[in-house]
Structure 1
Amino acid sequence: MSFQTTRRRLARHAALGALGLAAGLPRRARAAERVIRLGFASIGAGNRQFTGGSPAALAHAERHLERDFAADGDVAIRWHFFAGAGPAVNEALANNQLDFAIQGDLPSVIGRANGLRTRIVLASGIDNPIYLAVPPDSPIRGVADLRGRTVAWHRGTNLHLAIAKVLAANGLSERDLKVVNMDFATADAALASRNIEAQFGSPTVFSLVRQGLARIAYTTKGDNPAYGRNSTLLVTEQFEAAHPDLVARVVKGIVRASDWASDEANREALFAIWARSGHPLENYRDDFAGLPLTARNNPLLDDFLERQYQAQAEQALEYRLIRRPVGTQGWFERRYQEAALRELGLEGRWQRRGADGKAQGAA
């Protein structure tokens, strides 16, 4: 066999191998030249690839962005979920594994303090309450009763500073408690088995309440608005600089989801969609009880939200969660939301708040 014949056969085999590899890939993955990678600082029950409680979660579950980009043969949407919450998302951002993230305020501040270069482009889940859950027969009646108790929460998440504020308002600090670092699922199990005396948690605690395994001793719902937790959609500066058009379209898609999630006619349907996360519909029903959907599903970056992030940065430094001051000036980019509001005819849909938290009028 001649050298030329051998070379031709090798080339033909290589080509066939490449075709076989391509045939094994999903059609969209083969065609896509750009993949938009979005990460949630949360995950569903049992590591289910769904989450709930925000317009971005609705956009994922109902494939809003996938439909918006369906006509683009060169763009694919990929969603990622992180059991490690905000700290794990920061690690993924640092390793250039994400373009967008839906993340709480404190983890975002910590990421910025550690050099992550991002822009906050939309709110997705604001004023989220926290719940202090205890065993049904516990003598703990409120936050002031936690002194010396074994209390769990997930450190480094957006609960952390909200808890610090609540403790301070009751004359306590972390040093007055026996604090155990646990994620939500682990803390729920520990409370149910009475391995801890209390936990500051999320709406997952309502499942324990309905089973008679816990009761709510305190919630930030209806308390000082500064105790609320906030989550936003952020994008890496690198991706925004390269693809501002794609950023605008992602923001527009989630604003559209926010509009649907703010409609009271959709309340039960919304909770049912979020329940795909594996957390019961009743948890969302209890969490949102007594609140209009517009209060929590408002996507606007306003003066109050910016002020809250600056306050989080200042407190994170005070509590030594970060080692250097973090400024929020230039971090918030509102032009994408403003464009989306105009294009969708939603300028008057949600209330804007001033730095003092008071309503300034509809957007």
Structure 2
Amino acid sequence: MDRRQFLGGVAGATLVAVTGAVHAQNPLVVRIGFASIGVDNRPFSQGSSLSVSHSLGLAEKEFSDTPNVKIEWYFFRGAGPAVNEAVVNRQLDLYTQGDLPSIVGRANGIKSKILLVSSTRTPVYLAVPTGSDITKIEQLRGKRVAVFLGTNGHLSVAEVFAAHGLKWSDVNIVNLDNASTNAALATKDIDGAFGSVTFLQLEDQGLVKVVYNSNDDTPSAARIGSIFVTSEFEQAQPEIVARLVKAFTRGAHFASLEENRQAILDEWEKSGTARSILERDIQGVSLKARHSPLLDPFTRALYARKAEKSKEFGLIRRAVETESWFEPKYLEAAIKELGLEGVWTPFDPDGKPLG
């Protein structure tokens, strides 16, 4: 993938910043980026433990006694590729994004560390226009199908195709961002589209039919999103990184408790996504499994597999080593300090619980 492709999707991307209140002069500014944005450019996200941490102001609370630290949040309509562009331009210190864009970034020289997981085992959905007779993946052969290339959904779609005997070249792929995809489905300019939870809202509005959820038959297509820190910031400000990870671990714990299910929806709803849709997306889902921050063998194996598949599918030009990418010391210290040992179950590379 050349630099133009690597930075693709950045042009015209919406960037929204939210700045916390600070009383000190010349504060240390910590810039945190989301590879997503709310409805109508609302400065909120949904679907992850970090979106809960942001909405609850946990990072700001962590530094409430340190007025010289200022937290800034950035939200990108251009998703993972736009975040990569911002990191390349040294505009972010920490950020969250999905698996593929982070792998592409690593392949293209971005130096970062994975601090903790923000969401995992997130499915990819297939939606088709109302009236369509498409009901299964195999029927996409020769059809016009929208995929937001360069995002974590890109690699998930490749996994789904492979599981159903399709090659990338068997489908007429159209590269569209989320808003353009929704419009094209509504006007029936495409035969189908892969995407996320927002398709459920379009289905409720009678604009599309959701005919596939990857968790039903292709678990390997599940998406994972993590929180990264640039190597430059981590080396310069390890104490700040430690405190931020502690705040985000608090958020992961809050988002993992079943008794907080409705409160989590309250926070996610600030993104503008309908509550009924958010509720359907996590219906029957274990919150502890979905929001586990652990850098366990399952997480490490998942990144290694996705990096391998990225090379195999031609999404990156060179192999990417992933094991040295993880920096677990901050999370381990936070879990110990907060007394959260044993809250989350680690899984082995095959997804089975470790003793």
State whether structure 2 residue 73 is matched by structure 1 residue 67: no
Q: Which residue of 2 aligns with 1:261?
A: 255
Cα distance, 1:75 vs structure 2: 0.4
CA deviations 1:182-239 (Å, max 9, x no partner) are 1112111110111111110110001111111212111112333311000000001111
Q: Which residue of 2 aligns with 1:55?
A: 49
Cα distance, 1:29 vs structure 2: 6.5
Q: Which residue of 1 aligns with 2:221?
A: 227
CA distance in 2, matches of 1:48, 1:329: 36
Contact 2:257–2:288, Cα closer than 8 Å, also in 1? yes
State whether structure 2 residue 264 is matched by structure 1 residue 270: yes
Q: Which residue of 2 aligns with 1:218?
A: 212
Judged with a 3 Å threshold, the aligned counterparts in structure 2 of structure 1 residues 204 and 27 are, in CA distance, closer, same or farther, namely closer
Contact 1:28–1:76, Cα closer than 8 Å, also in 2? yes
**Residue among 234, 237, 248 paired with 2:242:** 248
Judged with a 3 Å threshold, the aligned counterparts in structure 2 of structure 1 residues 29 and 223 are, in CA distance, closer, same or farther, namely farther
CA distance in 1, matches of 2:47, 2:60: 20
Larger C-alpha radius of gyration, 1 or 2?
1
State whether structure 2 residue 152 is matched by structure 1 residue 169: no
Following superposition of structure 1 onto structure 2, how do residues 295-310 of structure 1 map, counting pairs within 5 Å? 295-310=289-304
Cα distance, 1:26 vs structure 2: 9.2
State whether structure 2 residue 149 is matched by structure 1 residue 155: yes
- Residue type of the partner of 1:46? D
Q: Which residue of 1 aligns with 2:78?
A: 84
Unmatched segments (≥5 aa) in structure 2: 1-18
Contact 1:151–1:180, Cα closer than 8 Å, also in 2? yes
Q: Which residue of 2 aligns with 1:126?
A: 120
- Residue type of the partner of 1:342? K
Aligned with 1:151: secondary structure? strand
Contact 1:32–1:73, Cα closer than 8 Å, also in 2? no
State whether structure 2 residue 262 is matched by structure 1 residue 285: no
Judged with a 3 Å threshold, the aligned counterparts in structure 2 of structure 1 residues 217 and 81 are, in CA distance, closer, same or farther, namely same
Contact 1:29–1:76, Cα closer than 8 Å, also in 2? no
Judged with a 3 Å threshold, the aligned counterparts in structure 2 of structure 1 residues 69 and 188 are, in CA distance, closer, same or farther, namely same
Q: Which residue of 1 aligns with 2:103?
A: 109
CA distance in 2, matches of 1:204, 1:183: 13
Number of residues of Structure 1 aligned to a counterpart in Structure 2: 337
Cα distance, 1:149 vs structure 2: 0.9
Q: Which residue of 2 aligns with 1:197?
A: 191
Q: Which residue of 1 aligns with 2:8?
A: none
CA distance in 2, matches of 1:149, 1:30: 57
- Residue type of the partner of 1:99? D
CA deviations 1:233-254 (Å, max 9, x no partner) are 0001111111111111111111
What TM-score results when the alignment is normalised by the length of structure 1? 0.90
Q: Which residue of 1 aligns with 2:351?
A: 357
Cα distance, 1:32 vs structure 2: 4.3
CA distance in 1, matches of 2:73, 2:214: 30
CA distance in 1, matches of 2:116, 2:206: 38
What TM-score results when the alignment is normalised by the length of structure 2? 0.92
Compute the RMSD of aligned alpha carbons: 1.4
Aligned with 1:353: secondary structure? coil
Q: Which residue of 2 aligns with 1:17?
A: none
Cα distance, 1:341 vs structure 2: 0.8
CA distance in 2, matches of 1:285, 1:142: 25
Cα distance, 1:272 vs structure 2: 1.8
CA distance in 1, matches of 2:276, 2:176: 24
CA distance in 1, matches of 2:21, 2:353: 48
- Identity in percent: 45
Aligned with 2:273: secondary structure? coil
Contact 1:192–1:214, Cα closer than 8 Å, also in 2? yes
CA deviations 1:55-84 (Å, max 9, x no partner) are 111111111100110110210100001111
CA deviations 1:293-331 (Å, max 9, x no partner) are 112111111111111111111111122211111101211
Q: Which residue of 2 aligns with 1:5?
A: none
Cα distance, 1:136 vs structure 2: 3.0
